[in-house]
Structure 1
Amino acid sequence: MSHQPDPRHDIDGDVYVSPRYLASTTGIGDPALAPLLDLGWDLQHDEDGNVYVSAPDRRVRLGYLPEGEDDGLWRINAYRDPFGPPTWGVCFNDRTPTEFVSAFTTALATAYEQGPDAYLARPAAGTDEHDPFLAVVPLLKQRWEIDRPRWGVFAVHSPDGLAGMEFTTGDLDPEAELTTRDARWQLWAGKSADRPVWYATASTDTPVALLTAVTQCVSDPAPLPRWRQDTLSYIKGMAQLTPILPPEPSAPTPLDVQRAAATRRPAAFPAPSVPRWSTTSRPALRGPRR
């Protein structure tokens, strides 16, 4: 089954970027906000253009921060106590493909409807649903390779080496996990984890189902549409760009067929007023000799 997007659809872009993890952001936050706003979550914004979205019970909060203090464009935190410290936190930087953020917020909206036991579920090794390494499975199915980049870090990387996901073992500083890249999970794309095109982080207690939604989207082999002029500066020399074909013409309607047939029909000429001679005409009678 082909994963190639259908060019007949209205696509926002003029090239497909493959692999998709090199596509970078679309620069539009609305698709990732939509799953939460559709549930009636509260939306606020400040005078700088930053957007803040909160669940009705204030236990989940999202910040879309184009004018934030760093490159953490998306920050999502969840709380067992609305007035306490975050139970878990996730960050996507300003170049992360928007589709990956949308995958996370869609899964978060589903979990929120299921209740706190879903969106506050802590990972637990050896369990069927909450084993943290289940988040890596979609990547392994696409032949990502297991790696040990440094002591205390388990990782997998894409076959081309241009994307990876890292899991740090041992004890971590809870505050640092929420404010820096020193988090339990880090997902990245680029030439290395030290100099990524984009990155995303997730703290220790981030539910496995939410992480898995992102890795499933990242590992999908289908390319992503982008505008060429917005893409080359980020991935020049790394990704494959395929021009998006123009939309195919729609199937002709019966009226179209009838009109086309009418234009091909020969014009009718009026019958001649003088009869034409033919080989079946009777010969003229001889007259009397003079």
Structure 2
Amino acid sequence: MPPHEGRYIIDGDVHVSPRYLASTTGTGDPALAPLLDLGWGVQHDDLGNAYVNAPDRKVRLGYLPEGEDDGLWRINAYEDPFGPPTWGACFNDRAPTEFVRAFTTALAAAYEQGPDAYLARPVSGIDEHDPFLAVVPLLKHGWEIDRPRWGVFAVQSPDGLAGMEFTTGALDPEAELTTRDARWQLWAGKSLDRADWYATASSDTPVALLSAVTQCVSDPAPLPRWRQDTYSYIKGMAQLTPILPPQPPAPTPLDLQRAVASRRPAALPAASVPRWSTASPSALPGPRR
């Protein structure tokens, strides 16, 4: 188990299914941990925002609860630390924390491999760098290709409450980093325009990072949440199942033997029988006839 997972356990009293309707946990620690465990530096401002930097300053993350918009998580990578970002990703303030953690965990692994991994540009038809691979986890878990639109490839969850879009053609690089007009957009809610949470990624975001998120999003396992913290729309659309307390483990044969032994009465001490010796007094004479 990675060291960060044992320190930040996401808890709750209900399981939310499907998991893309679970919304945020309200804490950033689980998603920050994979990068901090690598020794990345972190700074805080007076408002409570956190800024995480790779040692070479080529990858930066902002956790911005007091930011200018709803972009709570902003992650950028740079070929030149003083140049414009090579790629950027954003998760809004209601995106499930587990999805952000999937991204940062994959980013941490890519950073350890080097720039060829965390700056790898998607290239159609090139095995592990083919952009389509980011959609494969969704299709494997029952998501379907959405009705076609000009210049957009889209897939949708079976219930229609989540989707992912890939926009083709030329895009404005600056707009991709600062608006929702990005190459990739993943969302959940009643519709794309009324999404409760969303995540965006620009054109050159490595496919491995996107695939880590789509794999996590499409995982059929539910996510734990506190019932009082779930939003009203979730309660009407998602399935909430109470989390039962853990049951004690079944007794082993050895446990049963010990239990039986503990109930058995203790053995009585043996009766004391005087032993004959030369020091023993002689028997008294019996009465005379």
Q: TM-score range by the shorter chain?
A: 0.7 to 0.9
Which residue in 2 is equivalent to 1:74? 73
Q: Any idea what SS the aligned residue of 1:129 has?
A: helix
Deviations 1:9-49 (A, max 9, x none): x8611111110100101111111111101111010010100
Deviations 1:144-191 (A, max 9, x none): 111246321110000100000001111111111111111000000111
Q: RMSD across aligned C-alpha pairs, in angstroms?
A: 2.1
Displacement of 1:243 in angstroms is 0.9
Which residue in 1 is equivalent to 2:207? 208
Contact 1:144 1:156 in 2 (8 A): yes
Which residue in 2 is equivalent to 1:186? 185
Is the aligned partner of 1:196 residue 2:200?
no
Using a 3 Å threshold, how does the CA distance of structure 1 residues 250 and 257 change in structure 2: closer, same or farther?
same
Question: Where does the alignment leave 5 or more consecutive residues of structure 2 unmatched?
Answer: 1-8, 269-289
Q: Any idea what SS the aligned residue of 2:129 has?
A: coil
- Tell me the distance in 2 between the aligned counterparts of 1:162 and 1:121: 31
Q: Any idea what SS the aligned residue of 1:73 has?
A: strand
Displacement of 1:259 in angstroms is 7.4
Q: Any idea what SS the aligned residue of 1:237 has?
A: helix
Deviations 1:31-76 (A, max 9, x none): 1111101111010010100000000000000000000001100000
| 1:97-116 alignment, distance < 5 Å | 97-116=96-115
Contact 1:197 1:234 in 2 (8 A): no
Amino acid corresponding to residue 177 of structure 1 in structure 2: E
- Tell me the distance in 1 between the aligned counterparts of 2:224 and 2:233: 15
Amino acid corresponding to residue 173 of structure 1 in structure 2: D
- Tell me the distance in 1 between the aligned counterparts of 2:23 and 2:148: 24
Number of aligned residue pairs: 260
Runs of 4+ in 1 over 4 A off after TM superposition: 251-260, 262-269
- TM (norm. structure 1) is 0.84
Deviations 1:73-96 (A, max 9, x none): 000000001000000000000110
Displacement of 1:256 in angstroms is 6.7
Point out the more displaced range, 224-233 or 130-139.
Answer: 224-233
| 1:109-148 alignment, distance < 5 Å | 109-148=108-147
Question: Where does the alignment leave 5 or more consecutive residues of structure 1 unmatched?
Answer: 1-9, 270-290
Point out the more displaced range, 236-245 or 183-192.
Answer: 236-245
Kindly, what percent of the aligned residue pairs are identical? 87
